[in-house]
């Protein structure tokens, strides 16, 4: 498991550096997805599968899809179709595909290899422990964060609605 932790951490660092240094937003989003999946793999290797699954579902799934939609919506116009064709050429997928294949190979190795005596995460944290922790001593913080997110959503709705009326 120690190998899996360091391997996934290395892929996360490489992918994050590619996000920062890439000038094309679609390429940066592809590398950001790989980076978030690699962070989820580090959670799995540390014995926190619930945090890893939440990382994949919440960040790599929902938020990245939202980012892709925003990037695609911002590139409206007649030239955007040609721009997207240039962005989505097959050679663009080489880097993210290689990093994804390395993460898949690591996952298969961890699942099917013989267990070694050296593991980083000695205990597995399940969903019940996370729920007790969140809704126990941190209940007030969780509820304040939910109210803040609700206020942000209502504000964004009203700002968008007012701009639509003015046009």
* Residue 75's pLDDT band (cuts 50, 70, 90): low
What pLDDT was estimated at residue 14?
Answer: 92
pTM over cut 0.75: no
What CATH number is attached to the domain comprising 77? 1.20.120.1200
**Residue 92 shares a structural domain with residue 137:** no
Residue 80 buriedness (CB in 10 A; 0-12 / 13-18 / 19+)? middle
* Higher per-residue confidence, 148 vs 162: 148
**Residue 75 shares a structural domain with residue 16:** yes
* Higher per-residue confidence, 3 vs 12: 12
35 part of a folded domain: yes
CA distance 165 to 162: 5
What pLDDT was estimated at residue 15?
Answer: 92
Domain around 157: 126-161
Domain count across the chain:
2
Q: Average pLDDT over the chain, rounded to whole?
A: 78
**Residue 157 shares a structural domain with residue 91:** no
Q: What is the DSSP letter of 137?
A: T
pLDDT tens column, 136-158:
888 888 888 888 888 887 887 77
What pLDDT was estimated at residue 167?
Answer: 53
151 part of a folded domain: yes
Residue 161 buriedness (CB in 10 A; 0-12 / 13-18 / 19+)? exposed
Region 45-66: mean pLDDT is: 80
98 part of a folded domain: yes
pLDDT tens column, 106-121:
878 777 776 655 555 5
**Residue 93 shares a structural domain with residue 41:** yes
What pLDDT was estimated at residue 165?
Answer: 54
Only one residue has tokens 């899996």, namely 4
What pLDDT was estimated at residue 26?
Answer: 76
18 part of a folded domain: yes
**Residue 97 shares a structural domain with residue 130:** no
What pLDDT was estimated at residue 77?
Answer: 61
Q: What is the DSSP letter of 114?
A: P
Is pLDDT at 19 greater than 60 in this prediction? yes
Region 25-48: mean pLDDT is: 85
CA distance 40 to 49: 8
* Higher per-residue confidence, 6 vs 122: 6
Phi then psi for residue 120, to 5 deg, are -75, -55
CA contacts within 13 A on the Cβ side of 127: 3
**Residue 95 shares a structural domain with residue 140:** no
110 part of a folded domain: no
What pLDDT was estimated at residue 148?
Answer: 87
CA distance 20 to 89: 21
């Amino acid at each position: 498991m120690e190998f899996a932790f360091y391997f996934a951490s290395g892929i996360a660092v490489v992918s994050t550096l590619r996000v920062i240094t890439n000038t094309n937003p679609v390429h940066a989003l592809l590398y950001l997805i790989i980076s978030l999946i690699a962070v989820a793999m580090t959670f799995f290797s540390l014995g926190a599968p619930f945090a890893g699954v939440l990382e994949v579902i919440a960040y790599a799934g929902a938020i990245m899809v939202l980012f892709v939609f925003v990037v695609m919506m911002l590139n409206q116009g007649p030239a955007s179709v040609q721009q997207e064709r240039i962005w989505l050429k097959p050679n663009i997928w080489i880097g993210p595909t290689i990093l994804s294949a390395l993460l898949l190979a690591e996952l298969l190795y961890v699942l099917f290899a013989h267990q070694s005596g050296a593991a980083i995460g000695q205990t597995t944290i399940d969903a019940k422990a996370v729920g007790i922790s969140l809704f126990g001593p941190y209940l007030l913080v969780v509820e304040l964060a939910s109210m803040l997110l609700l206020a942000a959503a209502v504000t964004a709705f009203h700002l968008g609605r007012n701009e639509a009326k003015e046009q």
